[in-house]
C-alpha cells in the first residue's frame, strides 16, 4: 500500500478527471432528460413517437458499445468529426443518462394532478407559463430524488471511459497496478474513492431536495402544526 501512495499526484489528477466528467455528464443528462421528457408528453403524436424511438435507440445498446461506436466508428463516416476521448466520453454518457432520465421526468410530470394544468388555463396562462411556474416546480419534488439515484450510478459509469484512453482514476489505477503489482491494494483504494464520490453525489442531491419550492412549502406548512401540537402538549402537562 505504501508503494501505491507514492503515486498520489497522478492518482489525484485521475480523480479530478473523474469528478469533472461526472459533473459534466450529470448536468448534461439533467437538461437532456428535461427536454426529452417534455417531448414524450407532447400533444403532437409525431413528436411523441420520434422522441420515444430516439430514447429506445440509445437505451438499447450498452454505454460501452455507444462509446466505442462514437469514438472509433463515427469518424469513418464521411463528414463526421473525430472527437477527442474526453469529448466523446462526456457526450455519450450524458446522452445515455438523458434517455434514462427522460422517463423519470415524464413520470414526475404525469404525477402532477391534471387539475393544476386546468387551473393554469383558467388563469389565462399559456402552456409554457403553466409548465414553468406551476407544473415543473411540483414535478421536481418527484423527479429530483429519482434522478439523484441515477446520478450516483452515472458516477460509476465513468469507469468505462478509460477504454478509449481517458486518463480517469481507473486508468491511473491500472497504471499504478502495473508499476507496483499490488492489485488488491489498488482496487481497494479505487473502490473507496468511488464510494466517496457516490456519497458526495447523494449528499448534493439531498441538499437540492431540501431547497425545492414544494418541499420548502411543505416544511413551512408543517411547522405551525408542530408548534401548535407542542404547545397543546405543554398545556396538558401543566394541567
How does pLDDT run across 27-81, given as a tens digit for each residue? 999 999 999 988 888 888 898 899 999 998 988 888 889 999 989 888 888 888 8
Which cell is 13 given?
A: 489528477
CATH of 2-238, picked from 3.30.2080.10, 1.10.3720.10, 3.60.70.12, 3.90.1170.50, is 1.10.3720.10
Q: What percent of the chain has pLDDT over 90?
A: 33
Q: How far is CA 65 from the centre of its chain?
A: 20
Residue 62, judged by CB atoms within 10 A of its CB (0-12, 13-18, 19+), counts as exposed
Q: What are phi and psi of 42, to 5 degrees?
A: -60, 150
Residue with the bigger pLDDT between 213 and 164: it is 164
End-to-end CA distance of the chain: 66
How does pLDDT run across 18-33, given as a tens digit for each residue? 999 999 999 999 999 9
How far apart CA 226 and CA 176 sit, in angstroms, is 56
Domain boundaries, the chain: 2-238
Supply the pLDDT for residue 99: 93
- Predicted TM-score (pTM) of the model is 0.84
Per-residue HEC secondary structure of the chain comes to CHHHHCCHHHHHHHHHHHHHHHHHHHHHHHHHHHHHHHHHCCCCHHHHHHHHHHHHHHHCCCHHHHHHHHHHHHHHCCCCCCCCHHHHHHHHHHHHHHHHHHHHHHHHHHHCCHHHHHHHHHCCCCHHHHHHHHHHHHHHHHHHHHHHHHHHHHHHHHHHHHHHCCCCHHHHHHHHHHHHCCHHHHHHHHHHHHHHHHHHHHHHHHHHHHCCHHHHHHHHHHHHHHHHHHHHHHHHHHC
How far apart CA 3 and CA 133 sit, in angstroms, is 56
Supply the pLDDT for residue 214: 61
Amino acid at each position: 500500500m505504501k508503494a501505491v501512495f507514492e503515486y498520489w499526484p497522478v492518482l489525484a489528477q485521475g480523480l479530478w478527471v473523474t469528478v469533472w466528467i461526472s459533473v459534466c455528464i450529470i448536468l448534461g443528462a439533467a437538461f437532456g432528460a428535461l427536454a426529452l421528457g417534455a417531448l414524450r408528453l407532447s400533444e403532437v403524436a409525431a413528436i411523441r413517437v420520434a422522441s420515444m424511438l430516439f430514447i429506445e435507440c440509445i437505451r438499447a445498446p450498452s454505454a460501452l458499445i455507444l462509446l466505442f461506436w462514437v469514438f472509433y466508428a463515427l469518424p469513418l463516416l464521411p463528414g463526421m468529426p473525430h472527437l477527442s476521448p474526453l469529448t466523446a466520453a462526456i457526450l455519450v454518457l450524458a446522452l445515455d443518462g438523458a434517455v434514462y432520465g427522460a422517463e423519470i421526468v415524464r413520470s414526475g410530470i404525469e404525477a402532477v394532478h391534471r387539475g393544476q394544468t386546468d387551473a393554469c388555463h383558467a388563469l389565462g396562462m399559456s402552456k409554457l407559463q403553466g409548465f414553468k411556474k406551476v407544473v415543473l416546480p411540483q414535478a421536481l419534488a418527484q423527479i429530483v430524488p429519482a434522478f439523484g439515484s441515477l446520478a450516483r450510478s452515472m458516477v460509476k459509469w465513468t469507469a468505462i471511459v478509460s477504454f478509449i484512453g481517458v486518463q480517469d482514476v481507473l486508468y491511473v489505477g491500472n497504471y499504478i497496478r502495473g508499476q507496483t503489482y499490488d492489485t488488491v491494494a489498488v482496487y481497494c483504494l479505487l473502490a473507496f474513492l468511488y464510494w466517496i464520490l457516490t456519497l458526495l453525489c447523494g449528499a448534493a442531491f439531498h441538499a437540492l431536495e431540501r431547497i425545492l419550492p414544494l418541499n420548502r412549502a411543505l416544511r413551512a406548512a408543517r411547522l405551525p402544526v408542530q408548534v401548535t401540537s407542542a404547545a397543546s402538549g405543554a398545556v396538558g402537562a401543566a394541567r
